[in-house]
Structure 1
Amino acid sequence: MDAVVSIADLSRLSGVSVATVSRALNGYPDVSAATRARIEQLARETGYTPSEAARTLVRGKSSLVGVVWSRTYDDEAPHAFLHEVLDAMRDELARQGYDLLLLSPPSCDSGDRPDTLVRRARQLRLAGVMVMGVEPDDPAVVALAESDVPTVVLDLDLSGPSTRRVTSDNAGGGALAARHLVEIGRTRLAVITGEIALPMARERLEGFLAEAERAGLEVPAERVRSVGFQLGPGKAAMHELLALPEPPDGVFAAGDMAAIGVLLAAAEEGVDVPGQVAVVGYDDVRQAAYVSPPLTTVRQDVTAIGTAAAAEVLALSASPVESTEPLVLPVRLVVRGSTVSA
């Protein structure tokens, strides 16, 4: 087995002190350009890899970024959208030399203290923490956002001295869904969304209703269901909507898994999609293109969201917050067979 090259070996080969080698490799400005270049060249030639423990001591932080998320919604299957965002986060962190550490949300039933996440982030010397798919009023998440730990929240309306929100244009996406349904001639519109306490659920609903109103259409309260973004709640809500005296002819489900539940409910009741009812989802998860009929949906760029969240948390770790405004990413409509027949 080849011997591991140490910083002491680089010191011996370069003829400078261990301290100078360390400062050169960590970018300190008091090392001359010529010395830095010579040490970096030796590091490449010898295959030197910095000790993670040493790097942590020098920087005061590890090369780990935590992500807090709830793996399930209402005890159902993991949300596909979150998995795709997580993949993009991991890829961007790896590109910048960091690793991802999954953190389970504290359990109120277990007696965890509200500052549990803050203490864990500090004990592990995390470079930062990203949060997604959790309850917005979780005391541990609120305490984390209000702390000095660099934190990025996805679709949560939280703020703090070192916290920034990353989201997509939820209101704009809701408007796109309503506009499309109106353009294809649907007049009895319905919405299935998540709990209104969630900013993304509220914003998508508000965007949809505002656009419907601009088109001169009313969406009565009986055709609005705030039940969740998952398949089971979406399916149950669609059965309820189809039982109304005047069932909808256009449904916006503000999450693709709920929209797939809508398609299943329509199939069970013998309702033709898109002939009798058109369906629009939100997210454009991988399954959306393969259900029957293929799902028209508002596409969030999951790669852009995950990449932006990872880049933002590292930026927060490197310097103070420059902007408290949310980072809002664009969305677009993807038209498929659930609204327009082939």
Structure 2
Amino acid sequence: MATIRELARLCGVSPATVSRVFNNPEVVNAKTREQVLRTARQIGYLPNESARTLATKKSFMVGLLWDTDHRRPGWRHPFFQEILIGLKTALSGRGYHLLMLATSGEHTDDAYVRAARRHNLDGVVMIDSGTSDPSLRHLAESGVPCVSLDRPVQGPRATYVTSDNVGGARQAVRHLHEQGRQAIATITGPAHTRPGAERLQGYQEELALLRLPYRPEHVAEGDFYVTGGEAAMRRLLETDERPDAVFVAGDEMAVGALRAIAEAGLKVPEDIAVVGFDDIEVAALVPPGLTTIAQDKDGFGAAAAEALVSMINGADAPPARILPTTLVVRGSSTPSI
């Protein structure tokens, strides 16, 4: 088995630096940390986890909690798959392992707190599923370091990371208007989720700024999945005044909207322009290419990991991080692309 001295020699650093990479990674610069971790994987070096845990009083385990509705295949949503990759990469670079957190069927208010303590977790990352489960609130208030993605939380050692949902929605509507569109509809996410509510808010704000009429019949609620977007688009096509553009609050739903438009014998973007939100991989693959509002998926993971590790190391909960979005123009909104 490779030794710490061998690893240090191959990396051109001291054994003490190698030890810090695995025990206190935040004090080592990112370039050196990544080099040591990469070389450790190559030569099969494994730190003495028991000794590390005793020395630091940490388990170097972070729980991942996603309390998704059992009727929805939440774990398979492509946006969250990309978020998870970024989160795992960021935590691994700081020496932490990610553990999927389950509650063994418990449904008490302290179920997640007990699960976190049972697994001796240093902290927990929570992904918003729109649930109102009080046990999530109890976890945030428990003192266990918590970072939530897309869900505001309050607690002595809790914070959250989200995108500029309002600003991104406004970007989408503004872009459609710049293409000459006047009857701009929207397919929202579920109203009880923060992204769903904020993207609708941004849509409404930008319509008002552009002095475009707000038509309730041009607002159709979806569910962030393909079938929901397809059904919502069909409802919009049945309105008395058919929209000439639609802002869809999630790319998965936008794919469904494209399908519904094609089935109606209409063309994108000639008859109806479409803009999505997320910039998942399929957005660049569907014809004619989906214009979308890109979220910083790597930034989600990095920001969550940075906040969580700082709290694990004793810092106060940092302010919430709101990450900027970017308009990515493809063929679904303009024929010239």
Query: Which of 257, 266, 275 is the equivalent residue of 1:262?
Result: 257
CA distance in 1, matches of 2:72, 2:250: 17
Of stretches 160-169 and 306-315 in structure 1, the one that deviates more from structure 2 is: 306-315
- Output the TM-score relative to the length of structure 1: 0.82
Look up the match of 1:214: 209
Distance apart, 1:133 and its partner CA: 3.7
Matched residue SS, 1:66: strand
Query: Which of 291, 294, 302 is the equivalent residue of 1:307?
Result: 302
Query: Which of 33, 49, 54 is the equivalent residue of 1:52?
Result: 49
Q: Is the Cα–Cα contact under 8 Å of residues 136 and 157 in structure 1 kept in the other structure? A: no
Superposed CA deviations along residues 35-62 of structure 1, whole A, max 9, x for unmatched, are xxxxxxxxx9xx9854222322333321
Query: Which of 199, 223, 228 is the equivalent residue of 1:204?
Result: 199
RMSD: 2.5
Structure 2, unmatched stretches of 5+, are 5-18, 25-39
Look up the match of 2:163: 168
Distance apart, 1:65 and its partner CA: 0.9
CA distance in 2, matches of 1:150, 1:333: 33
CA distance in 2, matches of 1:94, 1:319: 20
Distance apart, 1:154 and its partner CA: 0.6
Asked if 1:285 is matched to 2:280, the reply is: yes
Aligned in 2, Cα 1:271/1:48: closer, same or farther, shift over 3 Å?
closer
Matched residue SS, 2:276: strand
Distance apart, 1:321 and its partner CA: 2.1
Asked if 1:144 is matched to 2:108, the reply is: no
Look up the match of 2:323: 329
Letter in 1 for 2:94: Q
CA distance in 2, matches of 1:292, 1:307: 32
CA distance in 1, matches of 2:228, 2:278: 17
Matched residue SS, 2:162: strand
Query: Which of 81, 95, 107 is the equivalent residue of 2:79?
Result: 81
Q: Is the Cα–Cα contact under 8 Å of residues 168 and 199 in structure 2 kept in the other structure? A: yes
Look up the match of 1:339: 333
Letter in 1 for 2:66: W
Larger radius of gyration: 1
Q: Is the Cα–Cα contact under 8 Å of residues 60 and 125 in structure 1 kept in the other structure? A: no
User: Identity rate of aligned residues, in percent?
Assistant: 42
Structure 1, unmatched stretches of 5+, are 6-21, 28-43
CA distance in 2, matches of 1:123, 1:76: 27
In the TM superposition, 1:32-111 aligns within 5 A as 50-70=47-67, 74-76=71-73, 78-104=76-102, 106=103, 110-111=105-106
Distance apart, 1:255 and its partner CA: 0.6
Query: Which of 222, 225, 228 is the equivalent residue of 2:220?
Result: 225
